[in-house]
Amino acid sequence: RSSLFGKDLLTCQDLSRDEIWLIFETTKEMKHAYYRGERPRLLEGKNLGMIFEEPSTRTRVSFEVAMSQLGGHALYLRPGELHLGVRETIADTARVLSRYLDGIMARLLKHETLEELAKHATIPVINGLTDWFHPVQALTDVYTMLEKFGDLKKIKVAFFGDATNVANSLLVLTSRLGMNFTFCGPKKYWPKERVMKMVEENVAETGANIEITEDIDKAIKDANVVYTDLWWWVGQEHEAEERKAAFQPYQVNSNLMKRAAKNAVFMHCLPAARGMEVTDDVIDGPWSIVWDQAENRLHVEKAILVLLMG
């Protein structure tokens, strides 16, 4: 059993550096085994509850396929299906689900709901995205960078746009690993104190080079990875016009990509709003590794599930 057995994964700050590397090494084993045609039934007889308060394509499908390929079973619990905080406390739901399941993966509107669920569950709880963090996505992204570049310390990652849950998790994970990460966007949408406190703790330990700036020239210079995310999410539609105007200068288009390092790649967690944060010629062009990135969600999730529940 790994040191991660029975643990929750709510943020990347929950993981030690050794545990992060264990996830990456296990992911590599999972992916190679998959391509050799092997389907080790490491989670035979295990059940994962997947709670969704919001829609999803990648998280929904990849976690279910991961469980299936590992010989286990996943239950899709769609928005509104459980008495989660309605007619029953979150704590009571956590206690009951812990008697049926071996693990929970939850995509919830509020990070505090996830924390409450994890506090009262006696089985591992995995964050499948909240308003604050998306750790499985960030682990997938950094694993994908490792695959493409081989040495995480030798690359510069530049994120353009909004301090989304994905940007927050990338900031936490890259600082925890001592990487070079620049967040570039309008000041109004910079990462909040809750995230920067984690980043500062990590930088003090690892000496990571983390920059937060509005300066596009500075951010794109020598960037090996150019990353962006949606400019607005469910519930922020009423801010769409204001956000479009604020983020337009930070759009990832071919002019921006040409100013990055020669070997630069383009990444996006998806779904993408084409023509907004990224143009078609970038996401469909030679820089783009978004489909490899999306595939890696499956392999990373298999590693996480085996390490937490296997």
- The enclosing H or E element of 13 equals none
104 or 208: CB nearest ligand CP: 104
Judge whether 137 counts as a catalytic residue.
yes
Strands (DSSP E) found in 20-113: 47-52, 73-77, 103-107
- Residue placing its CB nearer to ligand CP in the complex, 57 or 122: 57
Query: Which uninterrupted H or E stretch holds 29?
Result: helix 17-35
How far is CA 297 from each of CA 41, 66, 210, rounded to the nearest angstrom?
19, 9, 25
CA dist., res. 244 & res. 288, Å (int): 23
Sole window of 13-21, 55-63, 70-78, 177-185 interacting with ligand CP (rule: CB under 6 A): 55-63
Can you give the C-alpha Rg of the chain in angstroms?
19
State how far the alpha carbon of 99 is from the alpha carbons of 53, 94, 104, 121, 166, in Å: 22, 9, 12, 9, 32
Annotated catalytic residue, options 8, 13, 58, 107:
107
Binding mask 9-48 for ligand CP (x = CB under 6 A): ----------------------------------------
Binding mask 56-95 for ligand CP (x = CB under 6 A): xxxx------------------------------------
Which residue in 137, 144, 168, 228 binds ligand CP (CB under 6 A)? 137
Rounded Cα–Cα distance for residues 201 and 123 (Å) = 28
**Residue among 265 and 269 whose Cβ is closer to ligand CP:** 269
Rule CB under 6 A: say whether 206 interacts with ligand CP.
no
12 is catalytic: no
Cβ-based nearer residue to ligand CP, 196 or 230 = 230
229 is catalytic: yes
What is the nearest approach in angstroms of ligand CP to the Cβ of residue 56?
A: 3
Burial 211-222 (b: 16+ CB within 10 A, else e): ebeeebeebbeb
Classified as helix, coil or strand, 47 is strand
Cα(310)–Cα(302) distance, integer angstroms: 10
Residue 29 beta carbon to ligand CP: minimum distance, rounded to whole angstroms:
23
Give the C-alpha separation, 292 to 135, whole Å: 18
CA atoms of 164 and 195, how far apart (whole Å): 11
269 binds ligand CP (CB under 6 A): yes
Residue 127 binds ligand CP (CB under 6 A) = no
Catalytic annotation present for 134: yes
Among 10, 129, 230, 276, binds ligand CP (CB under 6 A): 129
Q: Could you tell me which stretch among 97-105, 116-124, 156-164, 266-274 binds ligand CP (CB under 6 A)?
A: 266-274
- Annotated catalytic sites, by residue? 107, 134, 137, 229, 269, 297
Q: Which residues of the chain form contacts with ligand CP (CB under 6 A)?
A: 56-59, 129, 137, 269-271
